[in-house]
Amino acid sequence: MVTKALIEGSIKGCGKFHKTSIFPCGIFQCMKGVNRKPEDPNYDLFKLALKSTSLRLYPNYANVDWSNAAGYDPENPCTYFSTMGCRTANLADINADDPKLVQLKDGRGNISPVTIIMPTLAMQAKEKVLAEQDKANAKSIDWKEGEVEYRSIEAFMKLLDKKINEARDMLLERFDWQCSQPAKSAKFMYENGTMYGYKPEEGIRSALKHGTLAIGQLGLAETLQILIGKDHTADEGMKLAIKIETLFKEKCAKFKKDNKLNFGVYYTPAENLCYTAMKKFKEKYGEIKNVSDHEYFTNSMHVPVWKKMTPFEKIDIESKLTGFSSAGCITYVELDAGSINNIDALEDLVNYAMDKDIPYFAINVPADSCEDCGWQGEINGNCPKCGSNKIQRLRRVTGYLTGNYTTAFNLGKQAEVENRVKHNGLEA
Ligand SMILES: [Zn+2]
């Protein structure tokens, strides 16, 4: 009844023009045997959620059956997989006091993130190798075909390994500083049990040790372009992508064990960094095709937004990498206004993503509204009903929505939203 009321509220919208509410972020937990199939007891809620998504972009879909979320307590919904809205996730807690609370979600958080700008490392690696090649040429030593590529990958992996170690050191330093703060710095949280595990006699470390230390990444697609001239939409690019993600995963697993803290791989949204990092990159390296010919780096390991493909193909590609993540990720697809009336197709899409083991899935549909008359839909110029040019353009720029992406986000993310192609072929 509560879930039904919440979703109905989301569908109805806020205020006299029934606008889409931007917060709180709605997340629907999909669970086998509960709400996935017509014979499941809460299937009606899944259908209602899909209707809300088609109109309001919310809810997003969390996959309780995600393989990395295994070990939850079926008797305790506080341990069922969900995210913190944007995408941050807390998975197995190495400091859980009780084996039944290993996958506890409530009362834990992302303590700090550090993001590695991978395309810059790839350029540093490649430039080093090209300089080596020049030296070899000067001595009339010929390099074999593919030698630059091979050596660049080796140099990049070595540099990445070093940067992941530095990220760990930065996170540990920040963690110690955070733990040295008194409980009164967030008095309400600690006094009211908002943070799980807090013991006054031990200080706030007793609570923060259950949270996540996130090692993030930016621009996998551009990194692959620099190293091998193609991204992970090609098989060869995917092979290298898996090698890179395996390094992140193995190192985070080791840090977790060594430091008894929850280090995890984070697929960073980089709301501001996607733009500022690109600006610096361009100043240094100029415009390189498929690498720096945009205003932003591609979000984490996402497929570049300008690639044309069906939503199913996008899910197929990203699902090969989401399993490496343990501190949060999101996969989303862009649909056109026509999908609003096709709830069955949206259902197929969400089910497809869940069955492909995507942990957190969202669907973007155009949700513009006229601020004068309240008309809603995709508005390309002025309002089709009253002609007003006061249009609120709601878009998902990260995991949650933003009121008006043209004023709430930087030039990089604005350009990304404008470059996004619609993933057509929903009925395929
Ligand atoms: Zn209007």
Ligand 1 centre to CA of 66 (Å) is 43
Q: Which of 97, 40, 89 is nearest to 60 (CA)?
A: 89
Ligand 1 centre to CA of 383 (Å) is 5
Ligand 1 centre to CA of 387 (Å) is 6
Ligand 1 centre to CA of 377 (Å) is 11
Q: How far does Cα 20 stand from its chain's mean position?
A: 22
Please write the tens of the pLDDT for every residue from 403-425.
667 777 777 878 888 888 888 76
Ligand 1 centre to CA of 393 (Å) is 13
Ligand 1 centre to CA of 24 (Å) is 26
- What are the residues whose beta carbons fall under 8 Å from the beta carbon of 243, sequence distance 6 or more? 157
pLDDT of residue 379: 85
Ligand 1 centre to CA of 391 (Å) is 8
Ligand 1 centre to CA of 363 (Å) is 25
Query: Could you say which DSSP state residue 72 is in?
Result: -
Provide the 10 A C-beta neighbour count for residue 175: 19
AA letter at 318 = E
Ligand 1 centre to CA of 394 (Å) is 15
Ligand 1 centre to CA of 21 (Å) is 19
Cβ 51 vs Cβ 39: under 8 Å: no
Ligand 1 centre to CA of 386 (Å) is 4
Burial class for 266, CB neighbours closer than 10 Å (0-12, 13-18, 19+): buried
DSSP H or E run through 213: strand 212-218
Ligand 1 centre to CA of 384 (Å) is 7
Cβ 397 vs Cβ 86: under 8 Å: no
Ligand 1 centre to CA of 398 (Å) is 27
CA distance 261 to 244: 22
Ligand 1 centre to CA of 424 (Å) is 28
pLDDT of residue 271: 81
- Nearest 5°: the CA angle 81, 331, 29 is 30
DSSP H or E run through 284: helix 273-285
Ligand 1 centre to CA of 379 (Å) is 10
Ligand 1 centre to CA of 376 (Å) is 9
Query: Could you say which DSSP state residue 340 is in?
Result: G
Ligand 1 centre to CA of 426 (Å) is 30
Ligand 1 centre to CA of 350 (Å) is 32
Q: Which of 345, 326, 386, 428 is nearest to 89 (CA)?
A: 326
Ligand 1 centre to CA of 410 (Å) is 27
CA distance 78 to 89: 13
Cβ 330 vs Cβ 87: under 8 Å: yes
End-to-end CA distance of the chain: 35
Q: Which of 256, 219, 262 is nearest to 241 (CA)?
A: 219
Ligand 1 centre to CA of 417 (Å) is 23
Provide the 10 A C-beta neighbour count for residue 189: 16
Neighbours of ion ligand 1 (CB under 5 A): 370, 372-373, 375, 383, 385-386, 388
Query: Mean pLDDT per segment of 10 residues, for the chain of length 428 residues?
Result: 96 87 90 97 98 92 97 96 89 96 95 97 97 95 94 98 98 97 92 92 96 97 98 98 98 98 94 92 97 95 94 97 96 85 93 98 88 85 92 74 70 82 69
pTM of the model: 0.93
pLDDT of residue 399: 63
Q: What is the dihedral of CA 24, 190, 329, 14, to 10 degrees?
A: 0
Tell me how long the chain is: 428
Strands (E), 103-209: 110-117
AA letter at 348 = D
Ligand 1 centre to CA of 18 (Å) is 13
Cβ 278 vs Cβ 295: under 8 Å: yes
Ligand 1 centre to CA of 378 (Å) is 12
Ligand 1 centre to CA of 362 (Å) is 28
Pairing state between β 360-364 and 331-334: parallel
Provide the 10 A C-beta neighbour count for residue 45: 17
Ligand 1 centre to CA of 372 (Å) is 5
Ligand 1 centre to CA of 388 (Å) is 5
Ligand 1 centre to CA of 340 (Å) is 20
Give me the chain's average pLDDT, please. Answer: 93
Please write the tens of the pLDDT for every residue from 44-78.
999 999 999 998 999 999 999 999 999 999 999 99
